[in-house]
Each structure stands twice: as structure tokens, then as C-alpha cells.
Structure 1
């Protein structure tokens, strides 16, 4: 069961990546940047929880890593919008 969960997770990440890539290459506008960054945040949080296995880690560690993700996506949004 765990193997199929990993494959489903990887397929989901690939679909999110493909969606963000298509959105970024087919359309223009500030809202597109926001959508791509939102997809990037969802992917990052998913990677933090599932693949880095921080879902069951101490709460402070999850907050630090998630805060880093928010900072990174926020700074990207600040300089690109």
C-alpha cells in the first residue's frame, strides 16, 4: 500500500508541475504569477509533509520549515508581481 501511495504522490506532483508550466507558458498577467506561486506553495508543503516526512515531526520543526517556504514564495512574489 505504501508503494502505491508514493506513486500517487509523485504523479500528483508531476501533474501540479505540468499545470504550473502550462499556465505560465500559455497565459500572461499578474494573476498567472499568483497562481503559479500558489501551486508552488502547495507542492512545497506537500513535499515537506510527505517526502521529507515532517508530518509526524515536532511541531516547531514543521513551523520552521513551512516558514522558510512562506518566506521563499513571498519573496518570489514580491520581486515578480
Structure 2
């Protein structure tokens, strides 16, 4: 029983940590987007999009439990994330 309680506690800690990272990334992308910390440039757009892709990856890994799913599903989800990131960033930056 103690093993399950320790595991539950560590999962809650991981979820809290990932949630905190998501909040920090959201505030950072908001600051980049609204305050134009990098001026209004393609670099700022690319930075906001990269932050968004990192957030997508964190949500799929930790809140949709893709990290505990079968290997083929991990490959599909991570491949989709990378492909989408490449297409969206490529279209916005103009590569």
C-alpha cells in the first residue's frame, strides 16, 4: 500500500511541476506576442510557435499519458507533433 501512495504522490508532484511549466510558457509566449519583446518579427512569431509546440508535447506526454502508451502510438503522436511544427513554423517564417 505504501508503494501505491508514494507513486501517487510522485505523479501528483510531476503533474504540478508540468502544470507550472505550462503556466510559465504561457506567460512567456504572451509576453513575446503582446509586448513584442523581440520586436514584431518573424523571430518572435517562430519563438511563440515553438513555445506552443513544446506545450503541445508536454500536454500529450503528461496529461494524455502518451509516455505510457504503446511505442507505435508514441511514434504517431510525436511524429504528428513534429510534422505539424515543421509545417506551421515553415509557413509562418517563410522557409
The TM-score normalised by the length of structure 2 is 0.73
1:39 counterpart = 2:51 = yes
CA separation in 2, counterparts of 1:45 and 1:7? 16
Which position in structure 1 is the counterpart of 2:30?
A: 21
CA-to-aligned-CA distance 1:13-52 (integer Å, 9 cap, x gap): 0110110111111221111111112111211111111111
Count of residues in Structure 1 that have an aligned counterpart in Structure 2? 81
Provide structure 2 residue ranges, at least 5 long, that are not aligned to the other structure.
1-8
Among candidates 50, 58, 81, match of residue 70 of structure 2? 58
Instruction: Point out the structure with max Rg over C-alpha.
Output: 2
RMSD across aligned positions (CA):
1.5
TM normalised by structure 1 equals 0.84
Structure 1 runs of 4+ off > 4 angstroms? Answer: none
